[in-house]
Every structure is written in structure tokens, then in C-alpha cells.
A = this chain, B = another copy of it.
Amino acid sequence: MPREPSDKRPPSRRIADDLREQIKNGTYGPGDKLPSERKLAAQYGSARNTAAEAIDILRREGLAVAKHGAGAFVRLKPALLRLGSNRYSRTLRETTGLSPYRAEVTKQGRTPRVACTSIERVDAPEDVAQRLGLNDDDRSVVRRENWYFADDEPVQVGVTFIPWAIADGSVLATSANMGKGSLYARFEDLGHPLTRIREEISARMPTPEEVAGLVIPDGVPVLEVLHTGIDDNGDPFEVTRFVMRADFNALDYNMPIED
């Protein structure tokens, strides 16, 4: 680590750059402990704050995680859950009898758990109402909130909105348990076979509520998917807003090009 007097970078950046380089070249591998802030400060002749800032830079980049009282460590990248477009396939549903999510997690050798934490009747938010084609005078929908876990770690939340006119009188409006074949089997029973999906995808940093609920470390964004289920008449019958930890989830779509 030669001292370049012509180095324009501030000390905290320089320390961060050095550590990043050492992570990339394998000096510190995934899970390894990085030098403590006090060690770094001594080594670089800076204040402890400056070394701490360097570590913070790496945390924001998603390269390191800190454990209070224990040290800072190179982040180990967990296997990504790949949520594919085929997760909505009817044959997959019927052969496994599992919900799309359970099928995907099980396929990866992890233990899935889904918890429906609330079912209530509300007015749909603006963007949801628009995608469901609801008039302003009847935005009444069933709101179902689901939490998804893999090996008991929370990995995503999904909030589903179903027009009251469709859900009224079925288990969709009342019961956390969807029965065999899960959600889309019930829609099929009600005359709405899932025929097309629209998925609008964006990414952003999590809100403090999401950080708390999904236990999201620093430097990890969320993927937000606004999903619309469409039946054989081209009519939307369900909208779900998914929010998922971007370090645990990836999306994998395979689709035909349509003219």
C-alpha cells in the first residue's frame, strides 16, 4: 500500500477502495472477517470514524455486512430464488398441487412457508383500481396480505387485491386457506382461468417499514412487482403487489414474441 502523495481520493474512499480490491482478488473471501475499524485506523493513520466510513461505503454497495460486537464481514451471496413465469403454469400447479411459491422454493431444497396475515375489505389504491378497470364509484376489493418465508427467513410480501364482485361469497373473501391448487384454482372455479399476466417491475431502496418487516440489511434494494392476472376474456381479475429482497430473489421470464 504505497502512499501516493498525488492521491486525490479522500482517505475513507481510499480505504474502501483498497478493501474492495482485496475482496475482489480473494484476499478476503465470502464470510471472512474484515479488519476492525480500530485496526484500519491505526494502519492508515486516520481517525476511527474515517475507517468506519470506509466500511460503511462497502456496506452500502452490498459487499459487506456488520455484526454489532463481532466485526464486519464480506457478504456471502445466498442462492437466488428464481421466480419464473412458468410459476403460473397450470400443469405445474396440477402436478405438484403446490402454490407457485412453494413449488419454486421446494425445487431449491429450501423449506417454504406462507402466512396470510390479514384479509379485509377496503377500497383499492389508485394504481390497483386502474389495472382492475374499476370505476371510481366502486373500488371495493378484498385485500389479502401474504408473507413468504424460505427456511423461516422472510423473503417477500405480497398484497393481493380482488374485486369484491368476484370474491364475494367465495373463500377468497374469507379464508386464509385456499385449498388444493391454491389461489388460481379458486379463480378458475369462479370462471376466471388465468390466461395472461402483466408484470410491472421496478427496483428501489426499501422503506424503514420494509427494512423492519423483511429484515433487510444495508445495501440491499427491493424488487417491486405489480402483477395483474388476466382471464380468457382479457379481463383483469386480480392484482398483487410483491415486494421482495433483491438479494434473495430474481425473476426469470420466458415468453413468446407477439406481433
Q: Are A253 and B198 in contact (CB under 8 A)?
A: yes
In the complex this chain forms, how many copies of it are found? 2
Please give the distance in Å from A68's CB to the nearest CB on chain B. 13
Q: Which of A217-259 contact B (CB under 8 A)?
A: 218-223, 246-247, 249-259
Q: Of the candidates B200, B219, B251, B253, which one forms a contact with A205 in the assembled complex, judged by CB atoms under 8 Å apart?
A: B219
Given contacts A61-B207, A246-B221, contact A201 B89 (CB under 8 A): no
A193-207 interface code vs B (CB 8 A; 1 in, 0 out): 011111111111111
Is A113 in contact with chain B by the CB < 8 A criterion?
no
Is A88 in contact with chain B by the CB < 8 A criterion?
yes
User: How many residues on A have C-beta within 8 angstroms of the other chain's C-beta atoms?
Assistant: 47
Report Cα–Cα, A158/B6, bound state, in Å: 34
Please name the residue on chain B nearest to A24 by beta carbon: B207
Is A86 in contact with chain B by the CB < 8 A criterion?
yes
Please give the distance in Å from A117's CB to the nearest CB on chain B. 24
Q: Which of A48-77 contact B (CB under 8 A)?
A: 60-62
Report Cα–Cα, A250/B257, bound state, in Å: 19
Is A135 in contact with chain B by the CB < 8 A criterion?
no
Please give the distance in Å from A76's CB to the nearest CB on chain B. 15
Q: Are A255 and B255 in contact (CB under 8 A)?
A: yes
Given contacts A198-B253, A253-B253, contact A259 B204 (CB under 8 A): no
Q: Are A259 and B90 in contact (CB under 8 A)?
A: yes
Please give the distance in Å from A42's CB to the nearest CB on chain B. 22
Report Cα–Cα, A208/B220, bound state, in Å: 16
Of A208, A247, A258, most buried by chain B (CB within 10 Å of CB) is A258
Q: Are A195 and B61 in contact (CB under 8 A)?
A: no
Please give the distance in Å from A185's CB to the nearest CB on chain B. 13
Chain B residue contacts of A175, Cβ below 8 A: none
Tell me the A residues contacting B by CB distance below 8 Å: 17, 20, 60-62, 80, 82, 85-86, 88-91, 194-208, 218-223, 246-247, 249-259
Between A and B, 27 residue pairs with Cβ closer than 8 Å are A60-B205, A60-B218, A82-B200, A85-B253, A85-B255, A195-B257, A196-B254, A196-B255, A197-B253, A197-B254, A197-B257, A198-B252, A198-B253, A198-B254, A199-B253, A200-B252, A201-B201, A201-B223, A201-B251, A202-B223, A202-B250, A203-B203, A205-B219, A221-B221, A255-B255, A256-B256, A256-B258
| CB-CB nearest 8 A-B residue pairs | A221-B221, A203-B203, A255-B255, A203-B246, A201-B251, A202-B250, A198-B254, A62-B205
